[in-house]
Amino acid sequence: MSDPHGPRSEVDPWRFAGRFLANLLSSTIPVEEFSGHIPWAEPSKPLSVSKVALVSTAGLSMKGDEPFDMDTERKRPSWGDPSWRRLRSDASSDTIVANHLHIDTSYIQRDLNVALPLDRLRELADSGLVGSSAETHYSIMGYQGPDKSTLTNETAPQIAEAMRSEEVDLAVLAPV
């Protein structure tokens, strides 16, 4: 029996990293099994009236804002900056900078939507499927190396609090 959705294929997690970086990182990054509790909350209201924020893992910052720390990343390739940045809802390829050595940022320069799908979110809001786009979106550097404690214990709670203060109902992760 054939699959009604077409042939299945495996996702290449290194597709956008470039051959050299993919070979280097895929051989040094341990595969971790997650056995903890995944925090999940049912939406409190329908999507059609919800305010939605995006969270990108591409190390994006607004031009003129402090970029992510790529100097330390260059010196210590197994490290990732655990801080976060606010991104305006009117951000575009002209106003955003990608600060991440672990990914090929040329795709983001050509189309911001691959890392921060603001145009798609606007379309969903304009069609009424989503209530509205949040005024602020967020970015982290997705690659954190072996120590994710700052991201887990400080960065994520700070972003969550910022979203609560802006009355964001739902967050969509845009992993890169």
The residue ranges of every structural domain in the chain are: 47-174
Which residues have CB under 8 Å from 111's CB, separation 6+?
93
Token pair of 6, please?
Answer: 């077409």
Q: Decide: helix, strand or coil at residue 42.
A: coil
- pLDDT band for position 18 (50/70/90)? confident
Q: How many CA atoms lie within 13 A of 108 on its CB side?
A: 27
pLDDT, tens only, 56-106: 999 999 999 999 998 998 898 888 899 999 999 999 999 999 998 888 888
pLDDT of residue 109: 87
Token pair of 75, please?
Answer: 């010196």
Token pair of 3, please?
Answer: 């699959």
Predicted model pTM: 0.80
pLDDT of residue 35: 72
Token pair of 95, please?
Answer: 């106003």
pLDDT of residue 31: 66
Which residues have CB under 8 Å from 161's CB, separation 6+?
none
CA 133 to chain centre: 16
φ, ψ for residue 20, nearest 5 deg: -60, -50
